[in-house]
Chains A and B, each alone.
Chain A
Amino acid sequence: DAGITQSPRHKVTETGTPVTLRCHQTENHRYMYWYRQDPGHGLRLIHYSYGVKDTDKGEVSDGYSVSRSKTEDFLLTLESATSSQTSVYFCAISESIRGTPLHFGNGTRLTVT
């Protein structure tokens, strides 16, 4: 398996609190992605990074921010969690997505009460 770790694996939080999810890789891959799993939508892209300090928005970026200060870490922050952000969040990495596939982490299950 590609060296990719998500933490925490499970998180329950209250509406209005900030939450940060971490994705850590040991593969030195350039590209990192955050997706959320939604019934009927498959995986939806939140944000992605194409290098240190280089990030861009995905399909559902409202309410989320990201940071990548080191190659190995990509953080996803929910500034003020809402119930609609209850989901399973997947991080993925790739050396070069135009020719190589994504490798996914094990996911973080987030529940906002």
Chain B
Amino acid sequence: ILNVEQSPQSLHVQEGDSTNFTCSFPSSNFYALHWYRWETAKSPEALFVMTLNGDEKKKGRISATLNTKEGYSYLYIKGSQPEDSATYLCALISGGYNKLIFGAGTRLAVHP
């Protein structure tokens, strides 16, 4: 079973702060990495799908980078807003399988 680790577990920031979290994974047999945003009492929503080493994706104030050789991805939020409060999940596909394995998530709370 793949080991997908996310850090930190939780984060509290003030409105306007920029923040980032990490997703770490085994670098061997990498196939794709997904990022999702998950608000309380809702379903996860996709942010990015990343497949190539060096990939950088951006969606509004949120961006992500990928380093498959060293096995990590960073998610950045610029100028955090209270509506960014959510759990951010990364998920990995490895090898020849179609299993998408999630990390435990980083819970972000943005305070006004």
A98 and B32 contact, Cβ closer than 8 Å, known pairs A45-B101, A50-B98, A107-B43: yes
Interface residues contributed by chain B, number (CB under 8 Å): 25
Inter-chain CA distance A33–B102, complex, in Å, is 12
SS class, residues of chain B in contact with chain A = strand
Candidates B46, B87, B93, B100; contact of A103 at CB < 8 Å: B46
Contact with A along B24-35 (1 / 0, CB 8 A): 000000011010
Within 8 A of A (CB), among B1-59: 1, 6, 31-32, 34, 36, 43-46, 49, 51
Candidates B31, B101, B103, B104; contact of A98 at CB < 8 Å: B31
> Quick check: A40 and B49 within 8 Å, CB to CB?
no
Number of residue pairs spanning A and B whose beta carbons lie under 8 angstroms apart: 64
> Quick check: B34 and A98 within 8 Å, CB to CB?
no
Interface range for A: 20 to 34
Inter-chain CA distance A103–B51, complex, in Å, is 18
Residue of A nearest to B43 (CB): A104
Within 8 A of B (CB), among A67-113: 90, 97-107
**A43 proximal to B (CB < 8 A):** yes
Residue of B nearest to A41 (CB): B104
Chain A residues with CB under 8 A of B1: 59
> Quick check: A59 and B100 within 8 Å, CB to CB?
no
Chain A residues with CB under 8 A of B99: 45, 48, 56, 58
Beyond A35-B102, A104-B44, A104-B45, 9 extra complex contacts between A and B, CB < 8 Å? A31-B98, A42-B6, A42-B105, A45-B99, A56-B99, A59-B1, A99-B49, A102-B36, A102-B91
